[in-house]
């Protein structure tokens, strides 16, 4: 075994001892509501397909039609040979949805944050190292993009606009270009950043506000347009409420031109394939018609939060379709997920480093395909947990 391999083995062994090992296991996903594991059916509360669009006939039909008509691959980077006219038509739809002058399609949400932030925060272009203020709970891909740009993040307390303002005030006389990076809806907590306050702070300090709208686009905001109205630059993904895959940035025409020239993840990566574009296009067309689905999800989430809270579970500051059950200890989170599995409920334990130490949780994501009776079963399973000391909520 090469020396590096034995190091990797030791690292994996340590993770396993700490209850942090991750592994892949096979599932089947017959529809947006359920998942099959080992031949058994579970109600799926682990998927970010908040509108249940993965199986929507319009998305499937357009994906199929565009695959037949334009092929299943795009051949190369858009700058080399892949700039099908389809891209710009979809980008116009995204720009309209997000009320920005322009948009650019990227390969995935992770890749978008990683590559766009690297280009945006380039010290050589900006003339000085930018001052980058980030919510400490931002998604890994945003931290990754900052690291790739070589900037030192100044992390403000989660969702704390006063802390953000205080940190910016410390640099009030600095000439360095300023950026604020936040998610709109936080992926592991389901809470919403105080975007109106953050937007006002950005304007007061002449900072560029970048918002990752991944978990709001499609499911929240008027007509599903998300919660990013305050942002100068919006990054988001088609892989969650839009049911497919791929990502976008919505921004000024100038920034789009800059990214086409300087964003390595755009320049050096094969463009999204036509079937994926077909699904994106159909999902964007459907969004304005899905108010009833959005209201259904909001109602289910509201009821679930209230009743889980009454059972003694800590749902944190969630106000959206993402509802965590925060248990603290990693093993307790795994155990709660296993107990729910016994009741045919599929929900994943989320552990550090995805969430801060001591805040391990089971993350539940509600979607439009869920029924009231699914919430009944979930709550009944949680009520049973109160009888089991290893998974009972503190105080229950
Ligand atoms: C806030 C946030 N941004 C970006 C991503 C990455 O998006 P994608 O899954 O399209 O790579 C995720 C998904 O995990 C996310 O939660």
Q: How far is the CA of 214 from the centre of ligand 1 (A)?
A: 6
Nearest protein CA to atom 12 of ligand 1, as residue: 109
- Which of these is catalytic: 48, 184, 269, 318? 48
What average pLDDT does this structure show over 190-217?
A: 98
Give CA angle at 164 (160, 167), nearest 5°. Answer: 140
Residue 387 has pLDDT above 70, yes or no: no
For ligand 1, atom 5, name the residue with the nearest CA.
109
Is the four-CA dihedral 126, 237, 137, 305 of positive or negative sign?
positive
The per-residue pLDDT for range 71-101, each reduced to its tens digit, is 999 999 999 988 899 999 999 999 999 999 9
- Please report the pLDDT score of residue 82 as a whole number: 80
Instruction: List beta partners, residue 40.
Output: 37
Burial 260-281 (b: 16+ CB within 10 A, else e): eebbebbbebebbbbbbbbbbb
Distance (angstroms) between ligand 1 centre and the Cα of 376 equals 29
Q: What is the mean pLDDT of the chain?
A: 95
- Phi, psi (degrees; rounded to nearest 5) at 42: -125, 150
Residue of 46, 108, 139, 235 to test ligand 1 pocket, by largest number of atoms within 8 Å of CB: 139
What are the tokens at 302?
Answer: 């509201």
In DSSP notation, 238-301 reads: SSSTT-S--EEEEE-HHHHHHHHHH-HHHHTSPPPPHHHHHHHHHHHHHGGG-HHHHHHHHHHH
Q: Is the predicted pLDDT of residue 388 greater than 80, yes or no?
A: no
Rounded to the nearest angstrom, the distance between the alpha carbon of 293 and the centre of ligand 1 is: 22
What whole-number distance in Å separates Cα of residue 261 and Cα of residue 156? 31
Residue with the nearest Cα to atom 4 of ligand 1? 109
Residue 3 binned pLDDT confidence (cut-offs 50, 70, 90): confident
Pocket of ligand 1 (CB under 6 A): 108-110, 113, 139, 141, 183, 187, 212, 214-215, 237, 239, 247
pLDDT at residue number 396: 44
The burial of 83, by beta-carbon neighbours within 10 Å (0-12 exposed, 13-18 middle, 19 or more buried), is given as: middle
Is 187 labeled as catalytic in the residue annotation? yes
For 351-365, what is the mean pLDDT?
95
What pTM does this model have? 0.95
d(CA 327, CA 337): 11
SS3 category, 348: strand
Considering the candidates 49, 91, 183, 281, report the single residue annotated as catalytic. 183
Q: How many CA atoms lie within 13 A of 249 on its CB side?
A: 29
Ligand 1 centroid–CA 117 distance in Å is 14
- Res. 394 pLDDT band, cuts 50 70 90: low
Neighbours of 292 (CB within 10 A): 9
Q: Nearest Cα to 117, choosing from 154, 91, 148?
A: 148
Say whether 179 sits in a helix, a strand or coil: strand
Order of all β-strands in the sheet with 345-346? 34-37, 40-44, 345-346
Give me ligand 1 centre to Cα 112, in Å: 9
Is the CB of residue 320 less than 8 Å from the CB of residue 281?
no
DSSP 8-class letter at 360: E
For a ligand 1 pocket test, name from 134, 140, 233, 240 the mutation site with the most ligand atoms within 8 angstroms of its C-beta: 240
**What's the pLDDT score for residue 20?**
83
- Dihedral angle of Cα 230, 320, 296, 213, to the nearest 10 degrees: 40
240 catalytic, yes or no? yes
- Name, in order, each residue with C-beta under 8 angstroms of 85's C-beta and a sequence gap of 6 or more: none
pLDDT tens, 15-39?
Answer: 999 888 888 989 999 999 999 999 9
Whether 158 sits among the annotated catalytic residues: the reply is: no
Site to probe by mutation for ligand 1, drawn from 114, 187, 242, 276 as the one with most ligand atoms within 8 Å of Cβ, is 187
Q: SS3 of 124, please? A: helix
The model's pLDDT over 103-116, given as tens digits with 9 standing for 90+, comes to 999 999 999 999 99
Q: Is 48 a catalytic residue?
A: yes
Catalytic residue flag (residue 183): yes
pLDDT digits (tens, 9 = 90+) for 218-276: 999 999 999 999 999 999 999 999 999 999 999 999 999 999 999 999 999 999 999 99
Name the active-site residue from 153, 212, 230, 281: 212
Average pLDDT over residues 49-67: 98
Phi/psi-derived region of residue 235, left when phi > 0, alpha when psi is between -120 and 50, beta in every other case: beta
DSSP per-residue letters across 189-255? T--B--HHHHHHHHHHTTEEEEEE-TTTTTTSSGGG--S-TT-SEEEEESSSTT-S--EEEEE-HHH
Is residue 83 flagged as an active site residue? Answer: no
DSSP secondary structure letter of residue 169:
H
Name the percent of the chain lying above pLDDT 90. 93
- Report CA(218)–ligand 1 centroid distance (Å): 14
Q: Provide the greatest CA pair distance for the chain.
A: 63
139 is catalytic: yes
Q: pLDDT value at position 395?
A: 45
Asked if residue 252 lies in contact with residue 100, where contact means CB atoms within 8 angstroms, the answer is: yes
Residue 83 CA to residue 297 CA, distance in Å, equals: 37
- Ligand 1 geometric centre to CA of 107 (Å): 11
């Amino acid at each position: 075994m090469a020396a590096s391999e034995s190091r990797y083995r030791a690292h994996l062994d340590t993770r396993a001892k700490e209850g942090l090992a991750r592994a892949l296991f096979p599932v089947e996903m017959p529809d947006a509501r359920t998942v099959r594991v080992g031949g058994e059916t579970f109600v799926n509360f682990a998927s970010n397909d908040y509108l249940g669009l993965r199986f929507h006939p319009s998305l499937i039909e357009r994906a199929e039609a565009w695959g037949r008509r334009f092929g299943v691959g795009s051949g190369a980077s858009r700058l080399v040979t892949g700039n099908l006219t389809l891209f710009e038509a979809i980008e116009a739809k995204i720009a309209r949805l997000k009320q920005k002058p322009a948009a650019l399609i990227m390969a995935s949400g992770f890749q978008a944050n990683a590559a766009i932030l690297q280009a945006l925060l380039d010290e050589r272009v900006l003339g000085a190292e930018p001052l980058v203020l980030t919510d400490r709970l931002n998604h890994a891909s945003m931290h990754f993009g900052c690291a790739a740009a070589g900037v030192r993040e100044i992390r403000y307390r989660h969702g704390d606009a006063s802390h953000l303002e205080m940190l910016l005030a410390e640099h009030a006389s600095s000439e360095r270009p300023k950026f604020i990076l936040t998610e709109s809806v936080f992926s592991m907590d389901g809470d919403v950043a105080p975007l109106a306050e953050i937007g006002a702070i950005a304007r007061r300090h002449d900072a560029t506000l970048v918002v990752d709208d991944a978990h709001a686009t499609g499911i929240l905001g008027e007509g599903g347009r998300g919660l990013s109205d305050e942002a100068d630059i919006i990054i988001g993904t088609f892989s969650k409420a839009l049911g497919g895959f791929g990502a976008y940035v919505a921004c000024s025409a100038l920034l789009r031109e800059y990214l086409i020239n300087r964003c390595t993840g755009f320049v050096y990566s094969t463009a999204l394939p036509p079937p994926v574009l077909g699904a994106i296009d159909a999902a964007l067309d459907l969004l304005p018609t899905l108010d009833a689905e959005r209201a259904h999800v909001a109602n289910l989430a509201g009821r679930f939060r209230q009743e889980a809270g009454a059972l003694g579970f800590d749902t944190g500051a969630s106000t959206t379709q993402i509802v965590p059950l925060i248990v603290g200890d990693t093993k307790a989170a795994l155990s709660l997920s296993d107990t729910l599995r016994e009741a045919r409920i599929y929900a994943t334990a989320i552990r550090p480093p995805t969430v801060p130490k001591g805040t391990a949780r089971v993350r539940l994501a509600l979607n439009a395909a869920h029924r009231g009776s699914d919430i009944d079963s979930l709550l009944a399973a949680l009520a049973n947990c109160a009888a089991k000391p290893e998974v009972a909520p503190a105080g229950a």
